[in-house]
Amino acid sequence: MTADYREFYRGRAVMITGGLGFIGSNLARRLVELGANVLLVDSLIPDYGGNLFNIDGIADRVQVNVADIRQQSTMNYLVRDRDVIFSLAGQVSHIDSMRDPYTDLEINCRSQLTVLEACRNHNPGVKVVYAGTRQVYGKPDSLPVSETHLVRPTDINGINKAAGENYHLVYNNVFGVRGCSLRLTNVYGPRQLIRHNRQGFIGWFIRLAIEDQTIQIYGDGSQLRDFVYVDDAADAFLRAGASDACNGEVFNVGGDEATSHRDLTTLLVEVAGSGRVQYVEWPAEKKAIDIGSFYADSTKFKTATGWAPTVPLADGLRRTVAFYRDHLDRYTGEPEPPRT
């Protein structure tokens, strides 16, 4: 795939569920640059990442609908005439899913069916790209993890995300609603919710470093992870949305190198010029669902679309730290209420 995938979006009607969230708002910025007609749908549920400041600078070039994607009549209306839907709305906290499994089930399963049913009945020609997660694999049997690895989640969130993913594949294969899933690894960057520590550890680590606090690492810090800067993740969604070669498939979207928690935090403290690291014992509730080291093999997606991550970890951390230093109060205080 060449640069044509970017030209594909000029004048296209695109919808992003979870569009005021972390990945959704960064994707929206790319789509605005490419000349797309962008509709952002977000429930702005507190603590889920939706933030009106995330569209600062592009608010006059996107349409925003504050709505819950679980509402069938609303979705029936909103999906009409859209060319591509990026399905990013979801509950991503593993700990929250274990404490409140029913809410996770509602948002990661029922809501996905609501969107897909709206598409099947009111816009069957649409293309849907689902934000999956590496969490569906559970504890890996071998590294790096490819898409042939068994799906064996270790927590409620992973189970529900796997179900949401499979709904998209069934609607592609049975009903002809074109869809695919991107199994994202650890995405980081500007506009991520950092008000609490339940939506990805790297964002929380970045906040602690900026505030010159102590970053606690569980165990000895030897666990490996791969990291994807949010601009690279957004590019992956753009490529998947423009390519019918992705239909009916699942793809890993991960970083090009594995980095230990120890090396990550050492680099982060160096980049930020503040913060410190402390190694502590694992909390029992987190150890019970920990998967150990994980990094993905993204060869399948690279081959299908030509995608490759372009932002090295050090550069991504510098950009992210600089963004939050400028806008920290927008991401640590109480969320801004939706406009009426």
CA distance 99 to 79: 32
Mean pLDDT of 294-315: 97
Report the run of H or E that residue 157 belongs to, with start and end. helix 156-175
Mean pLDDT of 279-296: 86
Token pair in block for residue 195: 């008000």
pLDDT at res. 148: 97
Residue 248 makes CB contacts below 8 A (sequence gap 6+) with 169, 172, 173, 178, 179, 180
CA distance 332 to 207: 9
Label residue 195 by pLDDT band (50, 70, 90): confident
Residue among 106, 124, 119 at smallest CA distance from 164: 106
CA distance 162 to 169: 11
Residue 186 makes CB contacts below 8 A (sequence gap 6+) with 200, 201, 202, 225, 226, 227, 228, 255
Written as one string, the DSSP assignment of 74-103 is HHHHHTTT-SEEEE------HHHHHH-HHH
DSSP state of 110: I
CA distance 207 to 321: 8
Token pair in block for residue 302: 């690279």
CA distance 64 to 67: 9
Query: What's the burial of 13, exposed, middle or buried (CB within 10 Å: 0-12/13-18/19+)?
Result: middle
Q: Any idea where the domains of the chain sit in the sequence?
A: 4-192+227-256+295-311
Q: Under CATH, to which class is 4-192+227-256+295-311 assigned? A: alpha beta
Mean pLDDT of 265-287: 93
pLDDT digits 0-9 by tens, 20-64 = 999 999 999 999 999 999 999 999 987 778 999 999 999 999 999
The larger pLDDT score, comparing residue 107 to residue 141, is at: 141
The larger pLDDT score, comparing residue 340 to residue 71, is at: 71
- Mean of per-residue pLDDT scores for the chain: 93
